Amino acid sequence: RTDGLVAAALDADAQGTEGGAYLLGADEVRQVLGDEAAWVIEALHLPEHGPGLPQRRDLAALVPSPPLAAALEALGRYRRHRGRARRDDKALADWNAAWAIALVRAGRALANPAWTTRGLALARRVWDTFADPSGARHVTWHAAPRGGSAADELYLSWLALEVWELTAEQAWLARAVDSALRLMELHFLPRFGLCVAGNDPGSATPDRLDGAHPSLSSLALWHLGRLETANEVPALTSWS
């Protein structure tokens, strides 16, 4: 993205169809294959108008043959030259923080200052974009400010800790602790030692496991242990 953030993904939608950027309709198959199109359309049960998924579910049962292989190769060439899928321009807090973490850690481990510099720049951009002085988190860029998910708080805290370890700037350590405390306050199930993955602040219900996320909780436990070692915070110590 031109603003320095990382876009969420490529958008596969086209012509109002999920995956349409990668799919072919019967009309395009006729355009590519000409007189050979009819039996391919029939074999794959392709929709007549516009891109769509083949309606045939037993594609593995198709008997391989030189004509079929040639037809699929021709369609593949056409598809590759039709253009790339558009970029999905959403920028997610946790994904951008994870990318910045990867750059910072890889730059340190491999002694690559270019990666470290890029990671630090992205870290600053992430924090300026996704966290404001009131504590609100922007789950996506251009979205209305609201509380972030457990993943948002976890990755923002982890990113801040990585930058603090690299720069020794106390402001980053304070940010790491702030997001960690928000994670525990809003998304933590004390009885089970797990956090929930929902986007709604305060979605953790103390006596229920609804929405509990074991893998996210394991990552949070590892991170909070590191953070507690770096900065003695009683609330962190009680969980980690």
pLDDT for the residue 165 = 94
The residue to which tokens 């074999």 are assigned:
43
Task: Give the pLDDT confidence of 130-145 residue by residue, as tens digits.
Answer: 877 655 565 555 555 5
Question: Confidence band (pLDDT; 50, 70, 90) for 171?
Answer: very high
Query: Which tokens go with 225?
Result: 């242990």
Best CA proximity match to 187, nearest among 155, 160, 228: 155
CB 193 within 8 A of CB 212: no
CA distances from 90 to 8, 108, 112, 119, 147 (A): 5, 29, 29, 20, 17
CA distances from 193 to 189, 205, 221, 239 (A): 6, 12, 9, 7
Residue type, 118: R
Q: What is the DSSP string of 21-49?
A: TT---HHHHHHHHGGGHHHHHHHHT--SS
CB 126 within 8 A of CB 159: yes
Task: Give the pLDDT confidence of 34-78 residue by residue, as tens digits.
Answer: 888 888 888 777 777 665 555 555 555 666 778 888 888 898 888
Helix (H/G/I), strand (E/B), else coil: 88: strand
pLDDT for the residue 6 = 81
The residue to which tokens 């590759």 are assigned:
80
Higher pLDDT, 173 or 89: 173
CA pair distance 203, 221, nearest whole angstrom: 19
Residues paired with residue 189 on neighbouring β-strands, in sequence order: 194
Query: Which tokens go with 167?
Result: 């720069």
